[in-house]
Amino acid sequence: MATAETDVGQLSFEAALQRLEEIVRTLEKGEAPLDRSIELYQEGDRLKRHCEARLKDAQARIEQIAFGNDGKPAGVKPFDAG
């Protein structure tokens, strides 16, 4: 039997984000019983961490074109968002 943690890990970034948005809307309505709200909050936290990890992974794979002194492309270097 798969756990919720495992299920979240299998989601694409887009699917995880969509589910997180659904959870936020549900919690904002305030209509869920307390126990269900707690479960949703915990699932939302797992989804948030999953999305952050996927974004960090993607950022690490992005490369930036490096230009030489002559202004021509001279290769690539890791992207620095800072």
**pLDDT tens, residue order, the chain (82 aa):** 344 555 888 999 999 999 999 999 999 999 999 999 999 999 999 999 999 999 988 887 777 777 888 888 787 777 776 5
36: alpha, beta or left? (left if phi > 0; alpha if psi -120 to 50): alpha
Angle at CA of residue 9, ends 80 and 45, nearest 5°? 80
Between CA 51 and CA 54 the distance in angstroms is 5
Between CA 62 and CA 55 the distance in angstroms is 11
Residue 4 has a pLDDT of 58
Look up the pTM and report it. Answer: 0.70
Between CA 7 and CA 16 the distance in angstroms is 10
Number of domain units in the chain: 1
Parent domain of 28: 4-78
